[in-house]
Structure 1
Amino acid sequence: MTNQPVEVAIAILYRSGKFLMQLRDNIPGILYPGYWAFFGGHIEPGETPEDGVKREVFEEISYILPEVSKFRCYQDERVMRHVFHGPLTVELNQLVLTEGWDIGLLTPEQIRSGSCYSQKAEQFRPLGPIHQKILLDFIEIMGE
């Protein structure tokens, strides 16, 4: 019997040519501890991926997505990632970070380099490899 991959919905949120990411908590046992990653999470039973990404973004940063579009899916043996994108229409200080260590708007250069400085961590922290790949694909395809 094969295990079905866990389904998650994640959001590429952008503003002025930069991309919103969270610095995940540095807790052993979670995926990508202490890495920059997207907002999003598990899709609940009976929930569509679009509803899931809207719920997760609201739960994690108190932001109501004004619009969201499907980008593509990324699947590996463990996870099916439904990737959406949409604009960030508010300032960072209007977001309430309820999950994660830090929040930041990363430039394409920081994404390409694979790391970004966190004021809260007081150090450069890496991007999650799959998150970096997704963003680089998005930048190449969408021209952001």
Structure 2
Amino acid sequence: MTKIHVAIAILYKDGKFLCQLRDDIPNIRYPGHWALFGGHIEPGETPEVAVVRELKEEISYAAPSRSISLFCCDVEGDVVRHVFYSQLSADVKDLVLLEGWDMKLLTPDDIRAGSCYSQKAGNIRPLGLPHQRILLNFIDSLATVNMN
């Protein structure tokens, strides 16, 4: 089975996590679900370069590459997610959503619940299961670091 490699970003600010409400179209993975920003790694591109490019393409965010760190690689079936994390240095109101239906800072409670209200969709939308799992693992890792 050929693996699809993607680079995604956990962007956090004030204890919340920036998520994208994916377009509600049937030919994409997790349509109409909250997910992390990111996308396919192009041929010859490193995951680090891909995640910076994707953030610029999807939300016009020029992430300082030195501020982005690798959190983990998450494998689910044919997808390998290279997961990076960084503090979001911009206000959400200053970001421009260029891909997806909505974006929002989700609280840890939203992530644990597995869903969140979208103003643009006008209803509660679920989190993509791998994105929820990755975020919960990240939140747990922060709690472990903060307790030591």
TM-score higher than 0.5: yes
Could you tell me how far apart the structure 2 residues matched to 1:41 and 1:48 are?
A: 12
Corresponding residue for residue 78 of structure 1: 78
Residue 77 of structure 1, CA deviation: 2.1
Residue 142 of structure 1, CA deviation: 1.9
Poorly superposed stretches of 4+, deviation over 3 Å: none
Structure 1 position 56 matched with structure 2 position 50:
no
Q: Which runs of 5+ in 2 are unaligned?
A: none
- SS of the equivalent of 1:33 reads coil
- SS of the equivalent of 2:24 reads coil
Could you tell me how far apart the structure 2 residues matched to 1:35 and 1:42 are?
A: 18
Which of residues 3, 9, 12 is equivalent to 1:11? 9
Name the structure with the higher helix share.
2
Equivalent residues, number = 142
- SS of the equivalent of 1:97 reads coil
Corresponding residue for residue 133 of structure 1: 133
- SS of the equivalent of 2:20 reads strand
Corresponding residue for residue 116 of structure 1: 116
Corresponding residue for residue 44 of structure 1: 42
The letter of the residue matching 1:5 is K
Q: Could you give the per-residue CA deviations for residues 15-72 of structure 1, whole angstroms, max 9, x where no partner exists? A: 0000000000000111000000010000001100000000001100000112100000
Residue 93 of structure 1, CA deviation: 1.2
Could you tell me how far apart the structure 2 residues matched to 1:50 and 1:113 are?
A: 30
Could you tell me how far apart the structure 1 residues matched to 2:76 and 2:21 are?
A: 22
- SS of the equivalent of 1:125 reads strand
| Aligned ranges 1:25-36 → 2 under 5 Å | 25-36=23-34
Corresponding residue for residue 88 of structure 1: 88
Q: Which runs of 5+ in 1 are unaligned?
A: none
With normalisation by structure 2, the TM-score equals 0.94
The letter of the residue matching 2:85 is H
Identity of aligned residues (%): 60
- SS of the equivalent of 2:57 reads helix
- SS of the equivalent of 1:85 reads strand
- SS of the equivalent of 1:104 reads strand
**Aligned alpha-carbon RMSD (Å):** 0.9
Could you tell me how far apart the structure 2 residues matched to 1:94 and 1:122 are?
A: 22
Corresponding residue for residue 19 of structure 2: 21
